[in-house]
């Protein structure tokens, strides 16, 4: 298909999308990079001029950065671990013949549709609050001392909330992948005398490997940017105990009005995301040919 005329038209029709995204990607990113080399503070207008690597040294040199980087890794890694393992288990379970499959799916998928601040607030007040949260009641009923989750285990608490939100996503995608494994393939394996464990090991798991990769990559993209859950629960604290890179940039740039340093943090965040992105693009790109 496609004559020269169609191709010209096609280029014209694609132009708005391409131009808009190009601007969206290039202009602010260019500005961030520019700012990151400037002395620029909204509080202190006297601070101007070229900063060289100063902002980077300031941001990366600060202990808060190391902590935020570590927190980011723990947050992403922890959530991935919970959602991938939990999601695989749940997908296998939901794929079994059970009564009420439709309703089950709805129950399981629901947390994904809860907006992040709501999810965070429900968990913070309804469950993790030491006084009247459900977990507090549960601990008391068991004769234990209620835990003040956000004070004692701030990062872990955030991980729990985020994992709760993303578990449905992992489950749904893995379930979809599982269901595309044809019945014949499974029956053939059964005929070949494979037991349940071997069927999982040699048939189901390899089939799901790609879906798992995709879950990991896509979640990583979103998890690197976790923000609202931290903002409404711990505010990044106590200290920097639950501050990730995204939140650190927000704290430095917007809350402390240090544009230069905030931008340097932003550039670092972009670099980290790009490393993940390269892998994701490979995985998705391969699929484009199929």
Partner 1 sequence: MARNVSVQTKTGFTILAWAVALLLFSPILWTIVTAFKTEAEAIAAPPTFLPLTFTLDNFFDVQDRSDYIKHAWNSILVSVGSTLLGLVIAIPAAWSMAFAPTKRTKDILMWMLSTKMMPAVGVLIPIYLIFRDLRLLDTVHGLTIIMTLINLPIIIWMLYTYFKEIPVDILEAARMDGAELWNEIVHVLVPMAIPGIASTLLLNVILAWNEAFWTITLTSGRAGTLTAFISSFSSPQGLFLAKLSAASLLAIAPILLLGWFSQKQLVRGLTFGAVK
Partner 2 sequence: MGSITLEHVNKSFGEVEIIPDISLEIKDGEFVVFVGPSGCGKSTLLRLIAGLEDTSSGHIKLDGEDVTGAPPARRGLAMVFQSYALYPHMSVRDNIAFPLKMAKTPQAIIDQKVDYAARTLNLGSYLDRRPRALSGGQRQRVAIGRAIVREPKAFLFDEPLSNLDAALRVNMRLEITELHQQLKTTMIYVTHDQVEAMTMADRIVVLNAGNVEQFGSPLELYKKPANRFVAGFIGSPKMNFVDGPEAEKHKAHAIGVRPEHFTLSTTAGAGQWAGTVNVAEQLGSDTFLHVEVEGLGLMTVRTDGDQTFSHGDKVYLTPDANRIYRFDAAGLAL
Which residues contact partner 2 (rule: CB under 8 A)? 1-5
Going along 161-281, which residue ranges are E strands? none
Binder of partner 1 out of 149, 211, 216, 243 (CB under 8 A): 211
| 4: partner contacted, choices partner 2, partner 1, none (Cβ within 5-8 A by kind) | partner 2
CA-CA distance, 110 to 149, in Å (whole number)? 24
Calpha distance 143→99 (Å, rounded)? 36
Query: Quick check: 90 binds partner 1 (CB under 8 A)?
Result: yes
**Torsions phi, psi of 40, nearest 5?**
-150, 110
Cβ nearer to partner 2, comparing 7 with 282: 7
154 binds, among partner 1, partner 2, none (CB under 5 to 8 A by kind): none
Stretch that binds partner 1, among 44-52, 63-71, 75-83, 216-224 (CB under 8 A): 216-224
Residue pair 215/174 in contact by the 8 Å Cβ criterion: yes
x/- contact string, 147-176, with partner 1 (CB under 8 A)? -----------------x--xxx--xx--x
Is 181 a binder of partner 1 (CB under 8 A)? no
Residues binding partner 1: what is the number (CB under 8 A)? 108
Residue placing its CB nearer to partner 1 in the complex, 31 or 70: 31
Phi, psi (degrees; rounded to nearest 5) at 50: -70, 135
Among 188, 221, 238, 239, binds partner 1 (CB under 8 A): 221
Distance CA 258, CA 7 (A): 48
CB of 288 to partner 2, least distance (A): 19
Segment lying near partner 1 (by CB under 8 A), choices 46-54, 57-65, 106-114, 199-207: 106-114
Residue 127 interacting entry, from partner 1, partner 2, none, C-beta within 5 to 8 Å by type = partner 1
* Residue 7 vs 210, nearer CB to partner 2: 7
> C-alpha distances in angstroms, 227 versus 55, 89, 134, 194, 236?
23, 28, 25, 46, 9
Residue with tokens 């100063």: 54
Q: Are 43 and 254 in contact (CB under 8 A)?
A: no
Q: What, of partner 2, partner 1, none, does residue 152 touch, CB below 5 to 8 Å by kind?
A: none
CB 262 within 8 A of CB 253: yes
CA distance to 53, 210, 214, per residue, from 285 (Å): 36, 13, 12
Name which of partner 2, partner 1, none residue 97 binds, using a CB cut-off of 5 to 8 Å depending on partner kind: partner 1
- Residues 139, 245: Cα–Cα separation, whole Å: 33
Q: How far apart are CA 158 and CA 242, in angstroms?
A: 8
Binding pattern for the stretch 243-262 against partner 1, x by CB under 8 A and - elsewhere: --xx--xx--xx----x--x
- Least distance in Å: CB of 53 to partner 1? 18
Find the binder of partner 1 among 60, 147, 232, 241 (CB under 8 A): 232
134 binds, among partner 2, partner 1, none (CB under 5 to 8 A by kind): partner 1
User: How many beta carbons lie within 10 A of that of residue 154, not counting itself?
Assistant: 24
Q: Which two tokens stand for residue 24?
A: 């969206």
């Amino acid at each position: 298909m496609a004559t020269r005329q169609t191709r010209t038209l096609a280029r014209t029709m694609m132009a708005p999308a391409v131009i808009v995204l190009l601007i969206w990607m290039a202009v602010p990113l260019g500005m961030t990079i520019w700012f990151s080399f400037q002395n620029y503070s909204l509080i202190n207008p006297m601070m101007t001029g070229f900063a060289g690597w100063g902002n980077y040294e300031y941001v990366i040199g600060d202990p808060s950065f190391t902590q935020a980087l570590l927190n980011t890794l723990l947050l992403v890694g922890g959530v991935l671990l919970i959602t991938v393992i939990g999601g695989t288990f749940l997908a296998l379970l939901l794929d079994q013949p059970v009564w009420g499959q439709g309703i089950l799916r709805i129950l399981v998928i629901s947390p994904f549709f809860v907006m992040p601040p709501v999810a965070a607030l429900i968990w913070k007040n309804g469950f993790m609050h030491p006084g009247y949260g459900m977990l507090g009641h549960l601990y008391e009923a068991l004769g234990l001392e209620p835990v003040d989750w956000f004070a004692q285990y701030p990062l872990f608490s955030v991980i729990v909330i985020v994992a709760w939100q993303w578990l449905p996503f992992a489950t749904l995608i893995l379930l979809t992948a599982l269901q595309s494994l044809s019945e014949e393939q499974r029956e053939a394996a059964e005929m070949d005398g494979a037991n349940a464990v071997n069927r999982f090991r040699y048939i189901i798991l390899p089939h799901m490997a790609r879906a798992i990769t995709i879950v990991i990559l896509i979640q990583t993209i979103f998890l690197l940017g976790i923000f609202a859950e931290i903002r409404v629960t711990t505010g990044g604290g106590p200290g920097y105990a639950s501050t990730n890179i995204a939140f650190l940039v927000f704290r430095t740039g917007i809350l402390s009005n240090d544009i230069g340093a905030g931008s340097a943090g932003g550039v670092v965040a972009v670099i980290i995301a790009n490393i993940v992105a390269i892998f994701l693009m490979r995985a998705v790109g391969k699929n484009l040919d199929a």
